Copies of this chain bind each other. A is one copy, B any other.
Amino acid sequence: MDSIHKGWFSERGELWPGQALSLEIEEVLHDVKSKYQHITIYQTKTWGRMMTIDGNIQVTERDEFSYQEMMAHVPMFLHPSPKRVLVIGGGDGGVLREIVKHPEVEQVTICEIDDVVIDTCKRFLPSLACGFDHPKVRVEIGDGFQFLRNHPNSFDVIVTDAPDPIGPGVSLFQRDFFALIHSALREGGVVCQQAESIWLDLPLIRDIVGYCAALFPAVNYGIVQIPTYPCGSIGLLVCSKTPGADVTVAARAPTPEQQALLRYYNHPVHAGAFAIPQFARVAVDEAIAHGRSVGTDGIKVAEEKSS
C-alpha cells in the first residue's frame, strides 16, 4: 500500500502491521526535513489540518483535543497545587495550551528536541501552537534526558508527550528514563506519559508499568479515545510520588469556568479512563505486582544479569 495514492494519505507503521488509517487530502501545505525527522502538514478533507512525522499521524485539528486534554488535565487535576510543570516533547503546543488553563501554575517549561516542529506548528497549526504564547511558558530546545538530569526535585507535574518507541523514541520507554522522571519530580509529584495502545503494544505496556511500579508508590494505566491514532485509542501511564494515592480519582474537579473550556475531560471521564478492558486490566495489574515485588534493586539486578 502506498503512503499517498489517488489523493489519500495512508499511515503504515511497523508497530501496526497489516492495518492503515487513510485520510483524504486536499493539499500538502508544507514538507520539511529537520535534523531529526521528516515533518509534513496536510490539509485533509474532513479532519482539518494534519501533521505527520516520518509518515506517522501526530495530530489532526478535529480530534487532537482528546489527547491534549487528557495528557494535561489527568495529572494536573491529580496534583493538589501544581506550580511548576515540565512538558517533554509536545512541540505542537497542544499540551501547553491545556496546562495554562490551571491558574495555580507559575511556570511551564517545555523541552522539545526539534525546534523545526515548533516553528512548523506555529505557522500551520495555530490552534495548538497558541500554547506557546502564554507568559508562563518557557521553551528549552534540547534532549529530555539531559534536561531531567540537570533538574532534580524541580517539578510538580511532568507530561511526557513521547513519540512511538521506534528509533530514538525507544529510550523514552526504558527504565532509566522513568528513574530520571522520578528524581526530577518534587515530593507529591505526578507524571503522565503517552503509553501506546493495549491493542498493539501490551508487552511494552507491561514493561513500562513494571518499571514504574518499582519506582512510584502509585501507578495506573488509562485509555483515551483518539480516532486518528492506530486502533482509535492511546494509553496514558500515570504515576504519583504520594504514597497511597489513587490516580484514578482527581484531587480537584474542574471549576465551571475550566469545564466550559474543555471538550473531552470531565471528572467522570478521568476515573472512567482507568476502567480498562479485562485483558489489559489483568496485564497491568500483574505488571504492577511484579514491579512492586522486585523493586528498584530487583530491576537493577535483573538488568545486570541480562547484560
Contact = CB atoms under 8 A, between A and B. Distances in A.
List the number of copies, as a whole number: 2
Contacts of A47: 18-19
A18 B5 contact: no
A264 B7 CA distance: 37
A116 interface: no
Interface residues of A, number: 49
A269 B264 contact: no
Interface string A35-70: 000000000111100000000000000010010000
Contact of A278 (B225, B232, B264): B264
Interface string A257-275: 0010011111011011111
Nearest to A268: B275
Interface stretch (A20-28, A82-90, A164-172): A20-28
Contact of A233 (B20, B233, B274): B233
A1 B18 contact: no
A58 B22 CA distance: 19
A19 B10 contact: no
A211 B196 CA distance: 38
Contacts of A7: 1
A128 B56 CA distance: 34
A82 B225 CA distance: 32
Given A18-B47, A24-B1, A277 B231 contact: no
Interface in A237-273: 259, 262-266, 268-269, 271-273
A8 interface: yes
Given A20-B23, A272-B275, 12 more contacts: A5-B5, A19-B22, A19-B46, A19-B47, A199-B225, A199-B227, A226-B232, A232-B232, A259-B278, A263-B277, A269-B277, A269-B281
